[in-house]
Amino acid sequence: MKLSESPAWVNLLNHHATLYGVHLRDLFAKDPARLDHLSAEAEGVYLDISKHRITPESLDLLVALAEQEGVAEKLKMMMTGARVNTTENRPALHTALRAPRGSVIEVDGENVVPHVHEVLDAMTEFSEAVRSGRHTGATGKQIRNVIHIGIGGSHLGPRFVTDALRPFVSPDLTMRFISNVDGADLHAAVDGLDPAETLFIVASKTFTTTETISNAQEARSWVTASLGDDAVSSHFAAVSTNLDAVEGFGIKAALTFGFWDWVGGRFSVASAIGLPVMIAIGPKAFREFLGGLHAMDQHALSAPLEKNLPALMALVGIWSIDFDGAQSHAVIPYARDLAALPAHLQQLEMESNGKSVTNNGEQVSVPTAPIVWGAAGTDAQHAFLQLLHQGTVNVPVDFILVARAAEPFGNHQDMLFANGVAQAEALAFGLTSQEVADSGEEAALIPHKTFPGNHPSSVLMIESLNPFTLGQLLSLYEHKVAIQGFIWGIDSFDQWGVALGKSLATDLIAELEGSGISVGTDASSAALIARYQLLRD
């Protein structure tokens, strides 16, 4: 049966019609207990979904949808190693990466947890060696710069987590990240650095990704040009599942950290892909980060759906996308250090759930992932929030608020927090034309100064941003994405949509480099190539 025709979906459609034209102002006025029904907390992470255009009955019906689609069972299957990535015939077992030592999680009858901890221990050893100066560069100089080379899941997660934990990063280290094949990336990253003090980490699950391998080759030339070929062994580490290719590149086995095909790129920062994070913040803080991820994994697995944070976020997302017609979703953290979160979530959500075919190979019957975007508050207020308040589109927002700053500075945290709450309030309740008139506004300006309100948002609030709470936040979003995928009946763990562009680019590169392969390009692409060759040469 199509999801759109299933009983829980039809119930939701009928219920949605009863809320037509109802304003959040009315919903709040009518139900003083609204917040009790539409909020939840898990180990210090507080979620308020009361500013969505839903009632407690809507939530019951959304939970019924999650039950109909077997969300709890599917989460359990995912976390116990079932091959939930059906098109690639693999488990999606990122939760095993943060399972405590001694846990048992089997893939094909083998407990993977001891292997996870073996790699974590090797990463710990290496991170401590770099941080303490025991591992030096080829000339004996201490490593002061770490440049991580990767793309997609091998870049966004470690970059986001390193940024988010900025106050925890060793002041003795400069951390930089390169992803784009644009040569400007590498130039900017090495600018002002001494190769003798620089360690490169080449991270690629497949170790075949053109961008990463090309950047790694250029980085190797930059090192060997001043330090000689032998320097590669002390200035390069690798993270990959393709150990043969790493060896072929010339990176020694002792500095190669493995992971497994059951770790999806965008879910991989808790694996060895997080090596730059561990070097930056130290192994102890990295294990606290893993602890936060694990704590939220356990909550996702065991909390009842109506108080389950990732399930609630998934369900209000489905309400907005599939019933309210939202095509876009903004994430606005009121924390400068979380500024890279929207970019990480773009891959996590859009690569995972940007699908239009179900697990059975049929066309989906309902819309799936929205466009995810955002920026840190208060910058967002002075850039795009105008459109969300008074424009013509419906964009649900996640506001992320933090109670205590890691580095307090005057009354800045109060101002930051107040701004976040004010935006959520203004979006929800707006300002009526009567209220504007009552304030004495000139008649001609009343329509311009009226705010319709009734714009949905969720508020996530944590006490402070640290490795543990960051782990909780990340796991929360990972499970939200998985739960939405389970409900939509799609494979959230494959990414066939990026394959076509990759293979076309490979053919075009060969043509541009004059290897004689003739690509059957369309007239538009052929003209672009001809113009490029003319300008280039």
Choices 130-138, 149-157, 228-236, 255-263; region in contact with ligand F6P by CB under 6 A: 149-157
Q: How many other C-beta atoms are found inside a 10 Å radius of the C-beta of residue 37?
A: 17
Q: Of the candidates 335, 455, 468, which has an alpha carbon nearest to the alpha carbon of residue 395?
A: 455
Choices 69-77, 151-159, 190-198, 528-536; region in contact with ligand F6P by CB under 6 A: 151-159
How far apart are alpha carbons 225 and 9 in whole angstroms?
63
Contacts of 213 (CB under 8 A, 6+ apart): 204, 207, 249
Q: Is 271 in the site for ligand F6P (CB under 6 A)?
A: no
Identify each DSSP E strand in 179-252 by its residue range: 198-203, 236-240
Q: Beginning with the edge strand found earlier in the chain, give each strand of the sheet holding 174-178 in spatial order.
A: 174-178, 145-149, 198-203, 236-240, 256-258
- CB burial class (10 A; 0-12, 13-18, 19+) of residue 434? exposed
- Sites for ligand F6P among residues 211-250 (CB under 6 A): 212
- At its nearest, how many Å lie between ligand F6P and the CB of residue 282? 25
Catalytic position from the list 284, 382, 425, 463: 382
Choices 33-41, 45-53, 148-156, 188-196; region in contact with ligand F6P by CB under 6 A: 148-156
Choices 76-84, 150-158, 244-252, 461-469; region in contact with ligand F6P by CB under 6 A: 150-158
Query: Which phi-psi region, left, alpha or beta, contains residue 207 (left: φ > 0; alpha: ψ -120 to 50)?
Result: left
Tell me phi and psi for residue 170, to 5 degrees.
-55, 130
Question: Side chain identity at 253, as an amino acid letter?
Answer: A
Query: Of 98, 205, 355, 480, which lies in the binding site for ligand F6P, with binding defined by CB under 6 A?
Result: 205
Nearer to ligand F6P, 147 or 400 (CB): 147
- At its nearest, how many Å lie between ligand F6P and the CB of residue 212? 5
To the query of whether residue 351 is one of the catalytic residues in this protein, the response is yes
- At its nearest, how many Å lie between ligand F6P and the CB of residue 268? 7
Nearer to ligand F6P, 179 or 466 (CB): 179
Query: Of 91, 137, 152, 430, which lies in the binding site for ligand F6P, with binding defined by CB under 6 A?
Result: 152
Nearer to ligand F6P, 52 or 266 (CB): 266
The tokens for 189 are 């990253």
- Sites for ligand F6P among residues 333-372 (CB under 6 A): 351
Q: Which residue(s) pair with 357 in the sheet?
A: 363
To the query of whether residue 502 is one of the catalytic residues in this protein, the response is yes
N- to C-terminal Cα distance for the chain?
58
Catalytic position from the list 69, 211, 288, 351: 351
Residue by residue, DSSP assigns 130-172 as HHHTSSB-TTSPBP-EEEEE--GGGTHHHHHHHHHTGGGS-TT
Query: Of 498, 526, 527, 530, which lies in the binding site for ligand F6P, with binding defined by CB under 6 A?
Result: 498
Q: Is 485 in the site for ligand F6P (CB under 6 A)?
A: no
Q: Is 209 in the site for ligand F6P (CB under 6 A)?
A: yes
Q: Is 479 in the site for ligand F6P (CB under 6 A)?
A: no
Query: Of 137, 158, 195, 265, which lies in the binding site for ligand F6P, with binding defined by CB under 6 A?
Result: 265
Q: Which residue(s) pair with 145 in the sheet?
A: 174, 198
Question: Side chain identity at 378, as an amino acid letter?
Answer: T
Query: Of 6, 111, 206, 433, which lies in the binding site for ligand F6P, with binding defined by CB under 6 A?
Result: 206
b/e map of 139-157 (b: 16 or more CB within 10 Å)?
Answer: eeeebbbbbbbbbbbbbbb
Query: Of 58, 127, 154, 368, which lies in the binding site for ligand F6P, with binding defined by CB under 6 A?
Result: 154
Question: Side chain identity at 380, as an amino acid letter?
Answer: A
Nearer to ligand F6P, 153 or 489 (CB): 153
Residue 362 DSSP symbol = P
Choices 58-66, 200-208, 355-363, 436-444; region in contact with ligand F6P by CB under 6 A: 200-208
- At its nearest, how many Å lie between ligand F6P and the CB of residue 239? 9
Choices 205-213, 288-296, 305-313, 470-478; region in contact with ligand F6P by CB under 6 A: 205-213
How far apart are alpha carbons 209 and 499 in whole angstroms?
11
Catalytic position from the list 2, 187, 412, 502: 502
Tell me phi and psi for residue 331, to 5 degrees.
-120, 120
- At its nearest, how many Å lie between ligand F6P and the CB of residue 72? 27
Q: Is 151 in the site for ligand F6P (CB under 6 A)?
A: yes
Nearer to ligand F6P, 423 or 495 (CB): 495
User: DSSP H helical segments within 192-239, as ranges?
Assistant: 210-227, 232-235
Residue 464 DSSP symbol = E
How far apart are alpha carbons 301 and 305 in whole angstroms?
10
Nearer to ligand F6P, 349 or 351 (CB): 351
What does the binding site for ligand F6P look like in residue numbers (CB under 6 A)?
151-154, 204-206, 209, 212, 265-266, 351, 495, 498
